[in-house]
Structure 1
Amino acid sequence: MSLLPRLRVTDLLTVATVGLRTRPARAALSVLGVGIGIAALVAVLGITRSSQSDLLARIDRLGTNLLTVADGQGPGGEEQPLPATAAGGVSLTTGVLASAPTAELPGVTVRRTDRVPPAQSGGLAVRAADASLLAVLDGRLTHGTFLTEGTARFPVTVLGHTAAQRLGVEDLSGDPRVFVAGHWYTVIGVLAPLDLAPEVDRSALVGFAAAVRDFGHDGAASRIYVRARQDRTVEVATMLARAANPERPDEVAVSRPSDALTARLAVADSGTALFLGLGAVALLVGGVGIANMMVIAVLERRTEIGLRRALGAGRRHVAGQFLLESLLLGAAGGVTGALLGAAATYALAVQRGWQPLVPPSAVGLALAAACLVGAVAGLYPALRAARLTPTDALRTG
């Protein structure tokens, strides 16, 4: 039967918090050190989850069944024309719900006025487009109307979102016009951003009939946008190259624009691992800070330790006191860090227009990590305090 007196939990808490109450500034700095590491971990996981959720929602909204058919690029990066039969062959492919041919017009520039040199086109392109393009891309207009079978014959254009910004066309007040390779075209519409078709975003769209009449275009498409049945998207993608160019299908590139958005998830995951590593380093530094504080506390309180040992406190009582004090510091840092990390996540998510998401598992793991760091950091100081004999502690205190 043990002769050591029993130490109640309330008494242990009282003695364990003596150092925290007598040295509040030092304790606050130790809590902050752990809190910064935990805040980094929670914020990284929360911000990543929020951004990924927003990106996945955008992919779902835009659809993963949009495919593009193109015939490579020329030396200057311009699109190459597909065979004249490509648009018809693609539209008749089994599993295709709708398709819209477009053609980049090489050498045709769009400028705000005829006084702007042709070389200063701002990287914008002019693209002949079918009236079905808006529906196939599931796009929308911020101003005006899109091309129709009737207006496609006239000198009118619809500007992509980027093209409108660079040309300074904010709305359609005053019937704005742009100068397209020697011809004035009236702007009848402005598109909202198209995440899956950036080449359309930076283009001025004209009708095929107008492109043939004003710019000598031969009517052939250089890029065809395709909406396939959702359950047959992969199968349709394998058939489109031969449908577009039966003689040389290997020269046709078929891609799914949503894959580029999906690839951003992998990039975000790799970035998350890096920032989690930095957060772990910050947490480790916080743990070292706790250990340093506890070692100093043992040295400063040798007299107290010796007196308690002389009055009958056992080694485990002394060790428990300092271990609990370190654990409390870690837990306080964990709670503080979790609150800071959640606040940072919500602030950034609201600012970016995301739905704020803080994974409960991330908060739980962060708190557990903080407590573990506190316990490990206090283990050596606690054992060092427990090894002190009453005579040594009182003589050197």
Structure 2
Amino acid sequence: MGLVKGGGIPLRMLLAEGLAGILQRPGRSALTTLGTLLGVGSFVAVLGITGSADGQISKRFDALSATEVSVESNGVADPVSGRVSSEFPSGTEEQVARINGVVGAGRLWDLGASVRVGARAPGSGVPAQSGAISVTAASPGLWDVVRPQVEGRVFDEALAEHDVAVVGRSIHRQLALGPLETAPAVFVDDVPFTVIGIVDDAERLTDSLLSVIVPADRVTARWGEPAGTDRMLVETSLGAAAQVAEQVPVALRPDHPTALRATAPLDPRKLRETVSGDLDALFVALAGICLFIGAVGIANTTLVAVLERIPEIGLRRALGASPAQVGTQFLLESILLGTFGGLLGTMLGTLVTLTVALARDWTALLSPWIVMGAPVLGALAGLLAGVYPALRAARIEPVEAFRRD
């Protein structure tokens, strides 16, 4: 090994002296290292946990939402009548089905609060009035998009020509409709609709569990077209939602595409980047604060060590040690403290990441550059913390040291 500067103390001896200085005060050194340990450990744990969470965001991102497009009228009123009319032409579902990437589509609208709903009283043909219950008109294609769990059946193209209804389980209990075998009926504005199915759950449109759903064709035949309140729910292939949302208004209303508004889900990659970016910025800042506190602790301890060892420094100077060698010794002590804290912090952060991942049943994701770079970060903190104490030690002259002694 070569000499550091100006005279006879090899670098390995300076390292040995620095290590000996740390081991001479194990309690103080442990407490000094604690700040760096917590800072580096927080850094590793934060990046490890957020990295693992990033993977879960993409895994757990609701695939149903990612393949769902909602289309509705922009609500532009007719300049003459002032009435907001439906912007969906006849044959809407067939036109949408021809768009590449569309799996299914269904149209629906709420009949409004003015509709009276009741149930046939047991053993009589008289409808018993009930509280406010939502009534939804739906086309048969909606069931393929909603994919309900149903007792009985839902209406198809053939049954949609009749006065039939599907109700949510809670509505079935509220109206005390009885088993389907008894052909219970609900009355919508005194028009009886035979209940053929009870919805227990649905993959989409879960608010249907709180409503009575009747065929759109029968509603149109009895009460006319909806006043601009209808919308369409479109299921797409994974990754095709944005493209379908752009094409649907043009396909349905080539003469006036702005009359319809298609809403596509957020891109899960952008969502993941936004969430992880916010988390990283927040927690890395907290880890940086811990690391800064650790660096201040190292600087304070090293400076105290310099002041306590002034006679020793003076003796070394008198025996021929140069200012650079004295300063290097204390700088190495500071770097060793930071490195030890970085190594222990890396192990602690990795352990925390693995523990959280196992507890949450995640796949632990920890980048190798984080594991390898964290001890270097600790050493860098020690280096920066030791600059001022090392300069103080290097400036001590032998005569001054002996005078103080």
* Same fold, judged at TM 0.5 (above): yes
The aligned residue for residue 7 of structure 2 is 4
Q: Closer, same or farther in 2 for the Cα pair 1:201/1:286, shift >3 Å?
A: farther
Matched, 1:67 2:62: no
Structure 2 CA distance for aligned equivalents of residues 47 and 126 of structure 1: 46
Provide the residue aligned with 1:52 in structure 2: 54
Alpha carbons 1:81, 1:103 under 8 Å: kept? no
Alpha-carbon separation, structure 2, partners of 1:318 and 1:61: 64
Which of 35, 39, 42 is 1:40 aligned to?
Answer: 42
User: What amino acid sits opposite 1:209 in the alignment?
Assistant: P
CA contact (8 A) 1:241 1:250 kept: yes
Partner of 2:381: 373
Measure the CA separation in 1 of the matches of 2:352 and 2:179: 45
Which of residues 334, 345, 353 in structure 2 aligns to 1:337? 345
Q: Matched residue of 1:285: which SS?
A: helix
Partner of 1:189: 200
**Percent identity for Structure 1 against Structure 2:** 31
Which among 270, 276, 280 is matched to residue 272 of structure 1? 280
2: CA distance, partners of 1:68 / 1:235:
13
- The Cα of 1:273 is off from its aligned counterpart by 1.9
Match of 2:20 among 15, 18, 21: 18
Call closer, same or farther: CA 1:15–1:85 in 2, change over 3 Å.
same
Candidates 182, 206, 209, aligned match of 2:215: 209
Structure 1 length as normaliser, TM-score?
0.73
Distance 2:356 2:57 in 1: 15
Separation of aligned partners in 2, 1:295 and 1:145: 81
Quote how far apart the aligned CAs of 1:16 are.
Answer: 1.0
Q: How many Å separate the matches in 2 of 1:175 and 1:262?
A: 48
- Structure 2 distance, partners of 1:300, 1:184, is 94
Q: CA deviation at 1:327?
A: 0.7
Task: Give the drift of 1:208.
Answer: 3.9
For residues 203 and 94 of structure 1, do their structure 2 counterparts lie closer, same or farther at Cα, with a shift above 3 Å needed? closer
Query: What is the deviation of 1:247?
Result: 4.6
Q: Which amino acid aligns with 1:27?
A: S
CA contact (8 A) 2:342 2:379 kept: yes
2:264 alignment partner in structure 1: 256
The amino acid that maps onto 2:108 is A
Identify if the C-alpha distance between structure 1 residues 393 and 338 changes in structure 2 by more than 3 Å, giving closer, same or farther.
same
Alpha-carbon displacement from aligned partner over 1:49-104 (angstroms, at most 9, x marks no partner):
22222222345955855433222479xxxx99552526335434431432221424
Aligned partners of 2:323 and 2:152: how far apart in 1?
Answer: 83
Q: How does 1:272-351 map to 2 (within 5 A)?
A: 272-351=280-359
Structure 2 length normalisation: TM-score? 0.71
Unaligned runs of 5+ in 1: 195-199
Name the SS of the counterpart of 1:17 in structure 2.
Answer: helix
Verify the 8 A CA contact 2:299 2:385 in the aligned structure 1. yes
Task: Give, in whole Å, the separation in 1 of the partners of 2:188 and 2:301.
Answer: 74
CA deviation after TM superposition for structure 1 residue 337, in Å: 2.4
- 1:93/1:243 contact within 8 Å kept: no
* Distance change in 2, residues 1:336/1:140 (3 Å): farther
Moved more, 245-254 or 223-232: 223-232
Answer yes or no: is the 8 Å Cα contact 2:45–2:353 preserved in 1: yes
* Higher Rg of the two aligned structures: 2
Aligned residues: 367
Q: 1:71–1:223: 8 Å Cα contact kept in structure 2? A: yes
